Amino acid sequence: MIFDTSIWVGLAASQISGQAVLQAASDESVYISAISLGELSFGVESCNDPVNRILRMRFLRNYEQRPVLDVTARTASVFGLLAAFMKQSSRSPRTRVNDLWIAAQAIENDFALLTTNIKDFEGLPGLRVASL
């Protein structure tokens, strides 16, 4: 199972119960996307509050220890298909680029995607979405 960035952020902010996440993942292995790591790194680097920045950095370093899914040539191919699908469905792929990359990784690896933002992934062909 791959976790959307919203799950990692929710865990760090104590907005999501770790128990609920464990229950949703069940016995599946859990992965973090390299895309999510980039989004989380941006959150650290753009934080002006020094205390909050240190807290974010601690969570990021912890998350970097998880199994990471890298972007591959096949991921790029699936991303292209998803972006084209969005455009053909009169939905702009530009506003959800990172979500589409994460969805492409989930499809490529035949993983379910756990998110708190189910609408961001609604209707994407080949994607199995789970939500909290």
Provide the pLDDT for residue 108.
97
Please give the full DSSP string across 10-79, using - where no structure is assigned: HHHTT-S-HHHHHHHHTTS--EEEHHHHHHHHHHHHT---HHHHHHHHHHHHHHTTS-EEPP-HHHHHHH
**Has this prediction a pTM greater than 0.85?**
yes
Provide the pLDDT for residue 93.
87
d(CA 69, CA 54): 25
Walk along the chain (132 residues) and give the pLDDT tens digit of each residue: 999 999 999 999 999 999 999 999 999 999 999 999 999 999 999 999 999 999 999 999 999 999 999 999 999 999 999 999 999 999 888 889 999 999 999 999 999 999 999 999 999 999 999 998
Domains detected in the chain: 2-122 (3.40.50.1010)
